[in-house]
Amino acid sequence: MAAMRCLAEPDLDAYTGAVLPFLRLDPVLNNLAATIIESRSTGRAPVTPADRWLRVVDRDDTVLTVAVHTPPHPLLLTDGPGPAIDALADHLLADAETVSEVSGPEGAAQRFAQRWSTATGEPPRLTMRQRLFRLDAVTPPASVPGQLRPAGEPDRNLLIGWYDAFARDVDPESTPAESAPLVDRVLARGDALWLWQVADEPVTMVGIAPQVAGVARIAPVYTPPSLRGHGYGTAATAAVSQWALDQGATACMLYTDLANPTSNRIYQRIGYRPVADATQWRLRPAADSAAT
């Protein structure tokens, strides 16, 4: 482990070729990082000058851990040996102003945050605990009114509002990214965003990312507060998950907020099973983070 190196790759195509084989070794646990990389390498999402593509390798150039940073989102880590996580943190400490949050598998994210704190003297703050779930077969919920349909251009304004509301639900302290360009990109795909409707009125929104290594990620799932408690989100998630399996996915996955016991319970009813926990840490006070 003494010969580990953290490499920052400016060439996204080269980076994609170097890290995707590693990420596909665990296509469920690494799905979010793999999706971010593939969406940008294929042009489905924009690449910005602030994006960072990092990996830690051993003396034989074997990838040990991967990290991607696409501001304003947190630095996202994969799991990896502790010394590799330390090497990543040490590499980034020279540019601390651009890293204000980190997320990833529970152990890796916590180790990174602690390493960062030791070097900077700033205590990290845990801002989110999530659980990763996997589904291989759907158990459809019973007696939920409504039906699934793909979202379309006429739904654009509704979807922008719901994306903004979802972002506030997830992290009330954050400044959400502009939703309109995101909604436009998702709608352009044609099959990435779905609506559950009752009596021709949309009541729930469910998104799905393209498959990576046979795994499709469900996100976001949003039901307006006034419409919750009727099973719409559960039914919509089950229907979109089944659609993904019918399209050839070998599994679906999603994240839940561990602070929300309802979501952790309802997804298990339709076949999702817990795989691992993830955490998100703020690396310095929010007032400082907002300046980056």
CA 257 to CA 262: how far, in whole Å?
A: 10
Helices and strands (H, E) in the chain, number of each type: 9, 12
Give percent above pLDDT 90 in the chain.
87
Q: Cis omega (within 30 of 0) on the bond before 220?
A: yes
259 and 175 in one domain?
yes
**Residue 172 pLDDT:** 74
| 164 and 198 fall within a common domain | yes
3-state DSSP call for residue 23? Answer: helix
Beta-sheet strands, E only, within the chain? 5-8, 52-57, 63-69, 75-77, 101-105, 125-135, 147-150, 193-198, 201-208, 215-222, 251-257, 273-282
**147 plus 225 within the same structural domain:** yes
Q: Is 230 exposed, middle or buried (0-12, 13-18, 19+ CB in 10 A)?
A: middle
- Which of the pair, 162 or 175, is modelled with greater confidence? 162
Confidence of residue 275 (pLDDT cuts 50, 70, 90): very high
Measure the CA–CA gap between 206 and 239, rounded to whole angstroms.
10
- pTM score, whole prediction: 0.92
**56 in Cβ contact with 80 (< 8 Å):** yes
Q: What confidence tens digit (pLDDT) does each residue in 177-223 have?
A: 678 999 999 999 989 999 999 999 999 999 999 999 999 999 999 99
Taking Cα atoms as reference points, which of 174, 282, 211 lies closest to residue 31? 211
The pLDDT of residue 287 is above 90: no
Query: 84 and 152, same structural domain?
Result: no
Residue 174's pLDDT is 61
Burial class (CB in 10 A: 0-12, 13-18, 19+), 247: exposed
**Residues in a beta bridge with 75:** 102
Residues 6+ away with beta carbon under 8 Å from 181: none
Q: pLDDT tens digits, residue range 21-73?
A: 999 999 999 999 999 999 999 999 999 999 999 999 999 999 999 999 999 89
pLDDT score, position 170: 83
CATH number, residue 17: 3.40.630
**Amino acid 288: pLDDT:** 54
Shared domain for 32 and 68, answered yes or no, is: yes
Domain coverage including residue 256: 138-270
Residue 8 pLDDT > 90: yes
52-57 and 5-8 beta bridge pairing: antiparallel
What percent of the chain clears pLDDT 70, i.e. is strictly above it?
94
Asked whether residue 76 falls in the same domain as residue 170, the answer is no
291: pLDDT strictly greater than 80: no
Lowest mean pLDDT among 79-88, 92-101, 108-117: 92-101
Of 232, 244, 243, 167, nearest in space to 202 by CA = 232
What integer pLDDT is reported at residue 61 of this predicted model? 96
121 shares its domain with 181:
no
Q: Is 289 a residue whose pLDDT tops 50? A: no
